[in-house]
């Protein structure tokens, strides 16, 4: 036991210790405490002396209670680090140091516990630890290496990642110049030299994207950053990072290249391409589409819809299609659309519209592709015309071949038959008869040949020159030639054609055509009434049309319509009819680029309409 | 000699008609022979024969290319007539138009009458073969 005076003395000394200290006897009751300890744990002096230290902390966190118990096991010089959470929930870290308490005779009479508040240090350590981990992660992921240059020693420190970037061995140790020599000769080397120089003289940090050539000869893109350091106002060194951005750079390059490629591609397509948003406003267009909308710069077209460029009606159709594509998520493919180009010209386009669909299966716009097929259309039209002409000519040719064959065969058959009879005939009288018939057959053959010749001449002679003639002059001449017959049958010619009407014709053909029609009027007049023929003219498209109307016999077009203009077709009991006139007439009219139409009623009369082509 | 009651020739060419008659005279004996210049005259003539209760021709020689009413138009109207007896119709033509041959097949299958298709010039031998009661 301690003497009373000594005890008081000890108590006073311990009370003033700067560190939180508590003396505990072997029964774990508190004997002495420092004021600091009381302050740290918020106890009153009177409330703790003689009290069990265990009971004092019975409401503390379990870890703390365990640590206290550990410290009271009378082990020599134990140091623990543990946290204490007070009644207010505030957590503080302490370094607990326990030392056995000896009396003068070196007997252990308890434990001296010192508790040092190390909360600030622990928190700082934790933070640093965390930062280090994060830092390591970042530099690994981002491939960032560190370097540190010391001017006094002219030593360049590279961390392992910097070395890895430069592809040098772990023991490689460069000086300042060595490190700069890794930068590629030319722009990169110049830039790093100038930048470093500027950084040192102006005391500014730097960051540059440059190219290095590694020890193994590989070219890499890096971002080098650095900051100059100063000691007593004098440059002392530099620290910085180097980041490998080669892959990123290559990706960026690739992306740029792809963008350029795409742009070049769509700009040079012979198609108008535009990408539109939900409101049908253009987001992207190519050159061809800009030309179509008659704008020269992208600014004039981006963000604008069809209503800005075209008729309301036309724009409405486009908008309707756009909406349908985006609503149904179904493309419109190769829709044929005609477009007014303004200057009276119409163009034909094939338009395809493809919806742009996001990952939620909603449309966010569409791609519109426009192809001008006007030329193809034009060609197609010309081709179709050519086919029509060719097939009609072909039909004519076959028809003509049949006619030739038929007519020549029928006459030669007759001649052959008559010759057979003649060879077998004994009677002179009969032979004379047969000879007469043979002569007739031979004449018929010659006449047929003449007719065919005339037809061939018309069909093959396409080089005949057309001239402009006054229609009335030609009519007057024909009327003059036929005046005897017209007068004889008392046929009135009622001409209402104005004198200035002109037609473009082959003069010889128009004489023949008019003569033939007028002759037909005379031949097929009705004996039951006073005959007349009315002549008039009109204009239809490219044609000047001559109308020839008579009140003659008329013809049943239902029965004979197809054959009216055929060769050797006659329809009336008329001995003068040869069935060649209208065939030749039709050929002549068609050879001049015209056409012919007929309207007739039996017993009433016939109207022919002859179309003279004004253009070609 | 073949014996035929009534023969009819329909052709607009007088020389052909002359030749046909001359050949028939040496091949057949007949009671009557009628010639018509075109289909219209022929169909009118045959209708008149029927009305008058006269004998209908047993053999008809028919040209195709004729004015006013051609051979096909005649045939169309003829097969529509109420004639129970089988009539032999010999088409004789100088046409090489394939549509004519096609038409013949159409008409041949449409009627109970016998219809043959022959080309000009026609020889005595052929006339002998096709001139008999159907």
DSSP SS3 for B102 = helix
Sign of CA dihedral A458, A462, A465, A466: positive
Estimate to the nearest angstrom the gap between the alpha carbon of A54 and the chain centroid: 82
Q: How many CA atoms lie within 13 A of A396 on its CB side?
A: 18
CB A597 within 8 A of CB A609: yes
Looking at residue A1, its pLDDT comes to 47
Of all residues in chain A, what percent carry a pLDDT higher than 70? 95
Position A20 pLDDT exceeds 80: yes
What average pLDDT does this structure show over A399-425? 85
* Residue A215: partners with Cβ closer than 8 Å, 6 or more residues away: A166, A167, A168, A172, A182
Q: Calculate the average pLDDT of chain A.
A: 87
Position A460 pLDDT exceeds 70: no
CB contact under 8 A, A570 and B68: yes
State how far the Cα of A299 lies from the Cα of A477, in Å rounded to an integer: 72
State how far the Cα of A483 lies from the Cα of A475, in Å rounded to an integer: 12
Q: Which of residues 222-251 of A touch B (CB under 8 A)?
A: none
CB A175 within 8 A of CB A153: no
Per mean pLDDT, which range of A32-46, A444-458, A535-549, A597-611 is the poorest? Answer: A444-458
CB A51 within 8 A of CB A29: yes
Looking at residue A571, its pLDDT comes to 57
CB contact under 8 A, A572 and B73: no
Q: How far is B121 from chain A (nearest CA, A)?
A: 4
Token pair in block for residue A515: 């003569």
Looking at residue A579, its pLDDT comes to 66
In chain A, the residue whose alpha carbon lies closest to the alpha carbon of B92 is: A410
Burial class (CB in 10 A: 0-12, 13-18, 19+), A201: exposed
Per mean pLDDT, which range of A125-129, A379-383, A516-520, B93-97 is the poorest? Answer: B93-97
Task: State the Cα angle at B85 between B82 and B86, rounded to 5°.
Answer: 110
Q: How far is A413 from chain B (nearest CA, A)?
A: 4
Categorise residue A388: left if φ over 0, alpha if ψ from -120 to 50, beta otherwise.
alpha
**A404 touching B (Cβ < 8 Å):** no
Of all residues in chain A, what percent carry a pLDDT higher than 90? 38
Token pair in block for residue A491: 């046929």
Tens of pLDDT along A199-223?
Answer: 988 989 999 999 999 999 999 999 9
Looking at residue A508, its pLDDT comes to 82
Position A161 pLDDT exceeds 50: yes
Q: Which residue has the higher pLDDT, A233 or A188?
A: A188
Q: How many CA atoms lie within 13 A of A307 on its CB side?
A: 8
Could you give the C-alpha distances from B66 to A268, B13, B36, in angstroms and in order? Answer: 68, 9, 11
Position B112 pLDDT exceeds 90: yes
Looking at residue A132, its pLDDT comes to 84
Position B105 pLDDT exceeds 60: yes
Position A574 pLDDT exceeds 60: no
Distance, first Cα to last Cα, chain B: 16
Looking at residue A147, its pLDDT comes to 93
**A405 touching B (Cβ < 8 Å):** yes
Looking at residue A569, its pLDDT comes to 60
Nearest CA among A362, A365, A367, A364 for reference residue A351: A367
State how far the Cα of A524 lies from the Cα of A526, in Å rounded to an integer: 6
In chain A, the residue whose alpha carbon lies closest to the alpha carbon of B37 is: A573
Tens of pLDDT along B11-39?
Answer: 988 899 999 999 999 899 999 999 999 89
Q: Which residue has the higher pLDDT, A113 or B95?
A: A113
Helix or strand (DSSP H, E) at A258: helix A246-268
Tens of pLDDT along A80-110?
Answer: 888 898 878 888 899 999 888 888 888 888 8
Tens of pLDDT along A237-278?
Answer: 999 999 999 998 899 999 999 999 988 988 888 899 999 999
Looking at residue A573, its pLDDT comes to 57
What average pLDDT does this structure show over A286-292? 89
CB A191 within 8 A of CB A142: no
Per-position b or e across A287-301, b if 16+ CB within 10 A of its CB: ebbbebbebeeeeeb
| Secondary structure percentages of chain B, helix, strand, coil, to 5 | 40, 25, 35
Q: Which of B19, B23, B102, B127 to mutate to test the interface with A (most CBs of A within 10 A)?
A: B19
Looking at residue A445, its pLDDT comes to 87
pTM for the model stands at 0.49
Task: State the Cα angle at A377 between A371 and A380, rounded to 5°.
Answer: 140
Nearest CA among A507, A440, A436 for reference residue A470: A507
Could you give the C-alpha distances from A206 to A51, A161, A491, in angstroms and in order? Answer: 65, 20, 114
Task: State the Cα angle at A232 between A228 and A234, rounded to 5°.
Answer: 45
Looking at residue B58, its pLDDT comes to 93
Measure CB to CB from residue A573 to each of B68, B73, B96 and give the nearest one.
Answer: B68
CB contact under 8 A, B95 and A571: no
Tens of pLDDT along A475-495?
Answer: 999 999 888 888 889 999 999
| Secondary structure percentages of chain A, helix, strand, coil, to 5 | 45, 30, 25
CB contact under 8 A, B68 and A414: no
Nearest CA among B88, B87, B96, B44 for reference residue B65: B96
Looking at residue A135, its pLDDT comes to 81
Looking at residue A225, its pLDDT comes to 94
Q: For tokens 């096709």, what's the residue?
A: B130
Token pair in block for residue A65: 């209670």
Token pair in block for residue A501: 């009407």
| Helix residue ranges, H only, A464-542 | 471-481, 483-488, 507-523
Tens of pLDDT along A141-151?
Answer: 888 899 999 88
CB contact under 8 A, A414 and B22: no
DSSP SS3 for A429 = helix
Position B134 pLDDT exceeds 80: no
Looking at residue A227, its pLDDT comes to 93
């Amino acid at each position: 036991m301690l003497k009373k005076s000594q005890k008081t003395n000890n108590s006073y000394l311990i009370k003033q210790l700067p560190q939180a200290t508590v003396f505990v006897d072997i029964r774990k009751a508190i004997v002495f405490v420092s004021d600091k300890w009381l302050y740290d744990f918020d106890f009153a002096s009177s409330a703790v002396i003689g009290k069990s230290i265990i009971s004092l902390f019975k409401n503390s966190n379990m870890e703390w209670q365990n640590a206290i118990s550990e410290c009271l096991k009378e082990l020599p010089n134990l140091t623990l680090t543990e946290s204490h959470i007070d009644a207010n929930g505030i957590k503080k870290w302490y370094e607990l140091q326990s030392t056995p308490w000896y009396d003068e005779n070196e007997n252990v009479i308890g434990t001296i516990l010192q508790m040092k508040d190390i909360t600030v240090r622990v928190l700082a350590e934790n933070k640093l630890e965390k930062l280090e981990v994060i830092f390591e992660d970042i530099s690994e992921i981002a491939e960032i290496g560190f370097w540190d240059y010391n001017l006094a020693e002219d030593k360049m420190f590279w961390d392992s990642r910097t070395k890895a970037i430069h592809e040098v061995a772990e023991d490689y140790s460069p000086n300042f110049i060595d490190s700069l020599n890794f930068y590629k000769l030319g722009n990169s080397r110049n830039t790093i030299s100038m930048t470093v120089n500027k950084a040192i003289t102006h005391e500014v940090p730097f960051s540059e994207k440059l190219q290095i050539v590694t020890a193994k000869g590989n070219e890499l893109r890096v971002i080098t950053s650095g900051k100059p350091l100063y000691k007593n106002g004098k440059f002392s060194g530099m620290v910085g990072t180097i980041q490998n951005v080669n892959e990123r750079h290559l990706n960026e390059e690739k992306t740029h290249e792809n963008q350029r490629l795409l742009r070049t591609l769509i700009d040079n397509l012979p198609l108008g391409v535009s990408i539109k948003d939900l409101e049908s406003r253009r987001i992207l267009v190519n050159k061809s589409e800009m030309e179509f909308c008659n704008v020269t710069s992208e600014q004039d077209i981006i963000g604008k819809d069809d209503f800005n460029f075209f008729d309301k009606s036309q724009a409405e159709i486009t908008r309707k299609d756009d909406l349908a594509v985006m609503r149904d998520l179904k493309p419109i493919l190769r829709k044929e659309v005609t477009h007014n180009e303004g200057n009276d010209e119409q163009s034909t386009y094939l338009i395809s519209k493809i919806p742009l669909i996001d990952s939620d299966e909603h449309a966010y716009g569409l791609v519109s592709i426009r192809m001008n097929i006007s030329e193809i259309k034009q060609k197609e039209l010309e081709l179709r015309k050519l086919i029509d002409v060719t097939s009609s000519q072909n039909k004519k040719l076959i028809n003509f071949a049949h006619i030739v064959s038929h007519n020549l065969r029928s006459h030669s058959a007759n001649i052959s038959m008559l010759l057979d009879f003649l060879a077998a005939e004994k009677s002179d009288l009969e032979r004379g008869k047969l000879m007469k018939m043979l002569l007739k057959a031979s004449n018929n053959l010659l006449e047929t040949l003449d007719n065919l010749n005339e037809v061939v001449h018309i069909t093959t002679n396409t080089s005949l020159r057309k001239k402009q003639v006054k229609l009335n002059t030609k009519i007057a001449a024909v009327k003059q030639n036929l005046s005897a017959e017209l007068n004889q049958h008392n046929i009135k010619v009622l001409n209402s054609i104005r004198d200035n009407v002109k037609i473009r014709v082959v003069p010889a053909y128009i004489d023949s055509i008019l003569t033939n029609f007028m002759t037909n009027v005379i031949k097929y007049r009705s004996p039951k009434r006073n005959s007349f023929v009315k002549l008039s003219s009109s204009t239809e498209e490219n044609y000047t049309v001559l109308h020839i109307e008579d009140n003659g016999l008329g013809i049943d077009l239902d029965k004979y319509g197809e054959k009216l203009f055929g060769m050797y077709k006659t329809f009336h009991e008329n001995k003068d009819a040869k069935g060649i006139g209208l065939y030749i007439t039709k050929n002549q009219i068609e050879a001049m680029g015209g056409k012919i139409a007929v309207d007739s009623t039996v017993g009433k009369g016939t109207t022919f309409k002859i179309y003279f082509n004004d253009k070609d | 000699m073949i014996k035929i009651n009534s023969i009819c020739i329909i052709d607009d060419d007088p020389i052909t008609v002359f030749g046909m008659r001359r050949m028939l005279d040496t091949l057949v004996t007949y009671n009557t022979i009628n010639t018509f210049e075109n289909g219209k005259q022929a169909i009118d003539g045959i209708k008149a024969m029927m009305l008058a209760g006269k004998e209908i021709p047993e053999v008809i020689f028919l040209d195709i290319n004729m004015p006013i009413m051609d051979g096909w138009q005649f045939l169309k109207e003829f097969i529509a007539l109420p004639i129970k007896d089988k009539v032999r119709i010999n088409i004789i033509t100088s046409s090489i138009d394939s549509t004519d041959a096609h038409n013949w097949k159409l008409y041949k299958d449409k009627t109970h009458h016998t219809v043959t298709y022959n080309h000009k010039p026609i020889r005595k031998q052929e006339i002998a073969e096709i001139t008999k009661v159907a």
